[in-house]
Amino acid sequence: MIVKNDRVWAMPSHDTFTVRPIKELIAAHITAGVWVDPFSRNSPFREQCITNDLNTEVEADYHLEALEFLRTFTDASVDGVLFDPPYSPRQISECYKHVGREVHTKDTQSSFYGDRKKEVARIVKPGGKVLCFGWNSGGIGKTSGFELREVLLVPHGGAHNDTICTVE
């Protein structure tokens, strides 16, 4: 982290959960029970979550497309979800190409996020938590039965986009 004019700037990382304020937020909210992470990358929370990553080079319990992974869980069966998808259509495209998958128009439309959020809402138990990460504060949303409890804005400085973290 860099402190400049009393403002804390967290260094950006492809591994979102290694950024100190984000790691601290997750550590404060992750509880016992069943937690899932459908886009785990190199998460330091692998011990606390059932992990999934499309990239077979990443250490994870499963290597499925996130939607397929989320569909393996029954309704209201998990206590929490760490939801850190690619933040933009460009990032989706890069992730898919990196693992040798074809990228289709549907993969880079807003339905990519909506379909996965619908599954997250379906599998989380009443009273469960979802921590979302991205460039907006939309989270899973009120229409899916979630209430925004906390927002963390992590500025990365310069031309880097901030990371917006929500707890629902």
pLDDT digits (tens, 9 = 90+) for 126-145: 999 999 999 889 999 999 99
pLDDT of amino acid 120: 98
Fold of 2-167: Rossmann fold (3.40.50)
pLDDT at 12 over 70: no
pLDDT of amino acid 86: 80
Q: CA nearest 126: which of 75, 51, 69?
A: 75
pLDDT of amino acid 132: 97
pLDDT digits (tens, 9 = 90+) for 26-74: 999 999 999 999 999 889 999 999 999 988 988 999 999 999 999 999 9
Q: What is the pTM of this model?
A: 0.87
Domain edges within the chain: 2-167
Beta-bridge partner residues of 2: 9
Separation between Cα atoms, residue 24 and residue 27, nearest integer Å? 5
pLDDT of amino acid 104: 66
pLDDT of amino acid 135: 87
pLDDT digits (tens, 9 = 90+) for 96-114: 566 666 766 766 667 778 9
Cβ contacts of residue 9 below 8 Å, gap of 6+?
1, 2, 3, 155, 156, 157
Mean pLDDT for 110-126 is: 91
pLDDT at 5 over 70: no
pLDDT at 8 over 60: no
Separation between Cα atoms, residue 36 and residue 51, nearest integer Å? 6
